[in-house]
Structure 1
Amino acid sequence: MYAPSQNDVRAFFCDTYAKQLERLPLTPMEALAAQWIDEHPEYHAELADKAAALAAVYTVEDGRTNPFLHLSMHLSISEQVAIDQPHGVRQAVELLAVKRNSLHEAHHVAMDALGEMIWASQRSGLPPDGHAYLERIRSRATR
């Protein structure tokens, strides 16, 4: 399994944004990332300065969203939906997108659920609970 470093992830998004601006060909993963980058113009300035991006520190206390974490979560959810893993996530996110009239908003709801699952796993020392994650998304799609 490939485990990119923080700098690898940040460089990937910055390089993808640069290639996108220069209208250079993108790999399939870069093309997917570019779609989410387009959805977040508030991150463009940070993505445009690779050196600053690699050095940036994002803390909860600063009240700044980490654009690289946020975009990475969009990619993770996109991949989960593409392969329907955990089973049922595709349907849950699609239903939520219809309910919210926005795939982007559906992703943000799924992101909250994903963050909760990861936090609970880290706190408990147990493996991530994909069933609970899926149920959180489903409950938001059906209420």
Structure 2
Amino acid sequence: MFNPTRDEVRNFFIEAWRKYQAREVLTPLETIAADVVALHPEYHTVVDNPDSVDRDFPPEAGQINPFLHLSLHLAIEEQLSIDQPTGIRAAFDEACARHGNRHDAMHDALECLGETLFNAQRNGTPPDGAAYVAALRKRAGHG
């Protein structure tokens, strides 16, 4: 199983963004990553700086870790592409319809995924895919 380190994940986003800006050829995954970064201009200064790999983003300082946020976006894009957990694509489509745009729906999914991962970590259990889909459906106003 692919299990990248924190630095590998961060370098992936930094390099995908660099290649995108230089108009170099990107892999399909790099294309998705660069598209996600493009949606977040507030993170451009972070991904433009290779020194960001070593930077901490402590929540107690009121900071959102941009690499975590971007990684969750990427994870959800993958989940949507294969509809795993089952039903995530339909729940996401409902969230898109409620918001009228994909990006706000994505942020609903991010909140639900973050909560699902937090609960799994807290409980020492695998993530509950059904609860994740149900949470997204509830946010979309269905379920």
Please give the TM-score of this superposition, normalised by the length of structure 1. 0.96
Tell me the residue number matched to 1:57.
Answer: 56
Tell me the residue number matched to 1:44.
Answer: 44
Tell me the residue number matched to 1:106.
Answer: 105
Query: Distance in 1 between the 2:48 and 2:121 partners?
Result: 33
Query: Distance in 2 between the 1:25 and 1:124 partners?
Result: 42
Aligned length: 142
SS in 1 for 2:89: helix
- Residue identity over aligned pairs, in percent, reads 42
- Find out whether 1:8 has 2:32 as its counterpart: no
Deviations 1:90-143 (A, max 9, x none): 011011112101111111111111111111111111221111111000111125
Long gaps (5+) in structure 2 = none
Tell me the residue number matched to 1:90.
Answer: 89
Using the TM superposition, give the Cα deviation of residue 58 of structure 1 relative to its aligned residue in structure 2, in angstroms: 1.0
Q: Give the superposed CA RMSD.
A: 0.9
Query: Distance in 2 between the 1:35 and 1:94 partners?
Result: 19
SS in 2 for 1:142: coil
Long gaps (5+) in structure 1 = none
* Shift >6 Å, 4+ stretches: none
Query: Distance in 2 between the 1:127 and 1:24 partners?
Result: 38
Tell me the residue number matched to 1:119.
Answer: 118
Deviations 1:50-97 (A, max 9, x none): 1x2111001111111111100000000000010000110001101111
Tell me the residue number matched to 2:32.
Answer: 32
Tell me the residue number matched to 2:140.
Answer: 141
- Find out whether 1:71 has 2:70 as its counterpart: yes
Query: Distance in 1 between the 2:54 and 2:90 partners?
Result: 39
Query: Distance in 2 between the 1:108 and 1:68 partners?
Result: 15
